Structure 1
Amino acid sequence: MYVIAGLGNPTAKYEKTRHNVGFDVIDRLAEKYNIRVSDNRHKALCGSGMVEGQKVLLVKPQTFMNLSGESIGAILNFYKVEPETNLIVIYDDISLEPGKLRIRKKGSAGGHNGIKNIIAHVGTQEFQRIKVGVGEKPQGWDLADYVLGHFSKEDREKVEDAFDKAVEAVGYMVNGETDKAMNLFN
């Protein structure tokens, strides 16, 4: 089984913000594969189903971004899932232009507090990830204000396209074709 976790912040206040692109991709996956992400367990909204013939658990941690590892760590422990092979985390990246994707098999937190917390709780930085570009913060802006802000209409259209590409990438990744996903979407 794959655990596919999209990072974001709970409550309507944060919907469609830059920091919630992980939740947006999970919503797209749930819609495409007819998976209800409504079970509240392990400090997350979860939904079980199939993606491209593989059993998956879609996860939207409800701990707020910076504590995402609490939820994901508990889920991996409960289901006995190995993060190195069967965890995919989807999140925002300010170093990428809006709508660009970067798929990696492993890596550091790169300053992302949600990823930092996941690494601390699962004990490794070797897990697959899909980074969705949200653009660099403008000079003089507070980083938190920027990532918790909303996209311009133009940038929103770009990230909407990226969500579809991320869904397609997940299809490859759950079938062991991460290299192919990287070649197609990086």
Structure 2
Amino acid sequence: MSALAFAGLGNPGKEYRNTRHNAGFLAADMLAEKMSFPAFSIWKKEIAFSCGEYKDKKIFILKPLTYMNNSGEPLKKFASFHSLSAQDITVIFDDVSMDFGKIRIRSSGSAGGHNGMKSVIENFSTDKIKRIKIGIGPLPEKINLKDFVLSGFSFNEEKKLGEILNKAASACQAIAELGIERAMNGYNR
């Protein structure tokens, strides 16, 4: 049975739980719920993971616990331990350059200024890593980027968040079921 991993990026801790920068963690939680996977367990104090089967594939849902900027190292260790290559992994993360609620699937590319994705690319020594970007932008004028991404969602954004996270989780399922090219064709419109 082949295996795939979906890694949501974010920061551990209650103070970060519902921040924009944790869109990846929130999407990973939604995916686990949508797939009826078990509660997350902790692997080597570095990764929260849930595991199950979907469409005859073993699926790992991952949340690195080393804070955003160091996400790549525990992902690489987990992947090596479970014989997963960079091509078996899809990374889910926030993107301030995309409008709030937009979902974009990519098969490869640069980190686009995202430090978590930069860490993943550096640790896997390739930018050929699938990713699902969740729009949290635009960055308001006169607000520092760090302050913005570590802030909570507005009331209006909060009302739409469940639908957006559900769409991101569905994009993960499409990648698992249809492959990256067909998933991109379905979601990147």
- TM-score, scaled to structure 2: 0.93
- Counting aligned pairs with the same residue, the percent is 38
Pairing partner for 2:129 from 111, 121, 127? 127
**Residues 19 and 148 of structure 1 are in contact (CA less than 8 Å); yes or no, is this contact kept in structure 2?**
yes
Report what 2:113 is aligned to.
Answer: 111
1:94 match: secondary structure: strand
Does the alignment pair 1:60 with 2:60?
no
In structure 1, what residue type is equivalent to 2:169?
A: V
Among 146, 149, 152, the alignment partner of 2:151 is: 149
Counterpart of 1:10? 12
Residue matched to 2:85: 82
Could you say which residue in structure 2 is the equivalent of 1:72? Answer: 75
Shift of 1:34: 1.7
**Do the aligned residues in 1 keep the contact of 2:72 with 2:124 (CA within 8 Å)?**
yes
Unaligned stretches of 5+ in structure 1? none
Q: Residues 134 and 96 from structure 1, CA distance in 2 versus in 1: closer, same or farther, beyond 3 angstroms?
A: same
AA of the residue aligned to 2:154? S
The amino acid of 1:164's aligned partner reads: N
Contiguous gaps of at least 5 residues in structure 2: none
User: Is contact 1:37-1:45 (8 Å) kept?
Assistant: no
Deviation at 1:158, TM superposition (A): 3.0
Please give the secondary structure, in 2, of the residue aligned with 1:134. Answer: strand
Q: Secondary structure at the match of 2:126?
A: coil
How big is each residue's C-alpha offset from its partner over 1:63-106, in whole Å with a ceiling of 9 and x where there is no partner? 0000000111111111111112x100000000111110010000
**Residue 136 of structure 1, CA deviation:** 1.8
TM-score (norm 1): 0.94
Give the corresponding residue for 2:37: 35
The whole-number CA distance in structure 1 between the counterparts of 2:186 and 2:40 is 31
The answer to whether the Cα contact below 8 Å between 1:65 and 1:113 also exists between their aligned partners in 2 is yes
Output the CA distance in 2 between the equivalents of 1:184 and 1:175. 12
Letter of the aligned partner of 1:167 in structure 2? A
